[in-house]
Amino acid sequence: MSSAADTAPAAPAAGPGPAARRDRTHYLYIAVIVAVALGILVGFAAPDFAKELKPIGTGFVNLIKMMISPIIFCTIVLGVGSVRKAAKVGKVGGLALGYFVVMSFVALAIGLVVGNLVHPGSGMHLTEAVKGVGHAQAQAASEGPVDFVLGIIPTTLVSSFTEGQVLQTLLVALLVGFALQAMGRRGEPILRGVEHIQRLVFRVLAMIMWAAPIGAFGAMAAVIGETGVDALKALATIMLGFYATCLLFVLVVLGALTRVVAGVNIFQLLRYLGREFLLILSTSSSESALPRLIAKMEHLGVSRPVVGITVPTGYSFNLDGTMIYLTMASLFIADAMDQPLSIGQQITLLLFMMVASKGAAGVTGAGLATLAGALQSHKPALVDGVGLIVGIDRFMSEARALTNFAGNAVATLLIGTWTGEVDKDRVRRVLAGELPFDERTLVDDAEDAGAGAGVPGQREDGEKELAKA
C-alpha cells in the first residue's frame, strides 16, 4: 500500500458495481450482539451452566490467535521487503517505540490523578481466601526483563509460528523482510509468494469469523456466571472509575492528538472501527481484532510498512489501557489494605510496573498477573490484596483491551502522518463513508474476496511507488 494517491485505483472495487456482492457481514455482527445479550441472560439465569460454556469463548479466541503469527509475518515481510531503503523502516520503528514510551507515561499519570481523587479501595476488607489468590497470581507473572528480552529470540526460524509469540514473529519477519530488501529483484518472486500466502491466511480467517457469535455467547455467559451481581455491586466504584478513566484517555488525550497531528475526528475513527470494538467487547481480547486492524488501517490510507511495524509492536509495547489499570488497581489495593502510598512511592511503583508490563505481553490474564508480579517484587505487603479485584478483572479486562486497541489505531495513524506515509485525502474519504471497507476481505468466501480496497497486499502499484521513495 502506498501513502500517496496511487491507492485510488483500488477504491472502486469496494463500491457498487456489477461485480459487487451483498455485504452479508451485517447479519454476522447483528448475530454477535444477539449472542452477547443471550450470554448475559444465561449467565444470570443459570450461572452454574454458564460457567461450563467458558471453553466455547476460549476456543474462538484461540482460533483467532492461531492466525495472528502468519498474518503479522506476511504483513511485515511484504511491507519491509517492498521498501528499498532500510533506513525508512528503522525510522518508523524508532518513532513508534518513542511514542509508545511517552504514551505509557501519560496513561500512568492520568490513572494516578484519578486514583488519588476517587480513593476506590476505601471500606474493603480482606479474607484469607483473597490473600491466597493474590500470591497465586504473582507466581503467574513474567520472570523479568532479561528473560523477556531473551524470549524474543525464537528457538528456530519457524518456532515463533508454532508457539504463537508475537514478538518472536515480529523479529523473524523483520529479518526476512530486510533479507528480501538486500536480494533486490531476485526477491520479488518470494514476495509474490508471500502475498499469495497472505490471501490464503485471510481466507482461513474469513471462515473463522463466522464462529464469532458462538464464541461471544460462550465468553459472555461464562463471565456473568462466574462473577455474579454481588461482586459487581461491591466493586462498582473501582470498575466504573476505571471505565471513566479509559474513556477520558481515549476521547481527550487520543482525541486531541488525532485532531492536532492528523486532522482526524476521533469519533469518526472510532466509528470506522466499530465492528472491531464489538468483537473485542464480546471476547475480552484485543488480539481477536488484530488482523482486522491491520487490514482496516491499510484501507484507511496508512502505508503497509507503517501498519506492519506499528500494529504488531504496539500490541506488546503500547498498552495504554493496561497502564491505567495498573495505576488504579495499585491505589485501590493500597487503600483497601489501609496502607496508602505516598506520591513518591506511587511514582516509583508505577515506573517499575511500566517496565514489568512489557514482559507480560501475550500472557493470558496479563493485566492481573503483571499487577501481582510487580507488587511481589516492589511492594510484597500489597500482594494479599490482589484477590480483591479478581472477581471483576474480566470486566476490567474488556476496558483494557478496548483502550489498548484504540491506542494502537491512533498510534498507527500518527506514526504514518509523522513519516509522511498517509494518504490524507483517502483518510478523509474513508472516514466520510465514500470508500467503505470491503468486509468480504475477512468474513466472506466470495470468489472475488481480495479485490476490495481494504485488502492487504492488493496495492501493487502503490508498493512500486513506495519502493522508489
Q: What is the pLDDT of residues 113-126, one digit of tens each?
A: 887 887 665 555 54
* pLDDT (tens digit per residue) in 329-363: 888 888 777 777 788 888 887 777 776 665 444 44
* Integer Cα distance of 97 and 93 in angstroms: 6
pLDDT at residue 77, as a whole number: 83
**Chain Cα centroid distance, residue 6:** 29
Q: Give me the mean pLDDT over the 393-397 stretch.
A: 72
- The model's confidence at residue 452, banded by pLDDT at 50, 70 and 90, is very low
More confident residue, 389 or 18: 389
Q: How many CA atoms lie within 13 A of 106 on its CB side?
A: 18
Average pLDDT value over all residues in the chain = 74
pLDDT tens per residue, range 165-177: 667 887 888 888 8
Q: What percent of the chain has pLDDT over 70?
A: 70
SS3 134: helix
Instruction: Encode 374-400: b = buried (16+ Cβ within 10 Å), e = exposed.
Output: bbbbbbeebbbbbbbbbbbbbbbbbbb
Query: Of the ranges 82-96, 139-153, 259-273, which is most confident?
Result: 259-273
Reported confidence tier of residue 164, pLDDT bands at 50, 70, 90: low
Q: Check residue 6 and give its pLDDT.
A: 39
Task: Name residue, grid cell 485471510.
Answer: 202
**How many CB atoms within 10 Å of residue 434?**
12
Q: Enter the pTM of the model.
A: 0.70
Which range in 32-41, 99-108, 208-217 is most confidently predicted, on average pLDDT? 99-108
- Encode 139-166: b = buried (16+ Cβ within 10 Å), e = exposed: ebbbeeeeebeebeebeeeeebbeebbb
The CATH code of the domain at 32-468 is 1.10.3860.10
Residue 270's pLDDT is 93
Question: If DSSP states are collapsed to H, E and C, what string results for 211-263?
Answer: CHHHHHHHHHHHHHHHHHHHHHHHCHHHHHHHHHHHHHHHHHHHHHHHHHHHC
Average pLDDT over residues 437-461: 45
Half-sphere CA count of 178, side-chain side, radius 13 A: 11
Which class for 443: exposed (0-12), middle (13-18), buried (19 or more C-beta within 10 A)? buried
Q: Enter the C-alpha cell of residue 296.
A: 482496516
254: pLDDT strictly greater than 70: yes
303: left (phi over 0), alpha (psi -120 to 50) or beta: beta
For residue 205, pLDDT over 80 is answered with no
pLDDT computed for residue 241 by the predictor: 83
Burial class (CB in 10 A: 0-12, 13-18, 19+), 406: buried
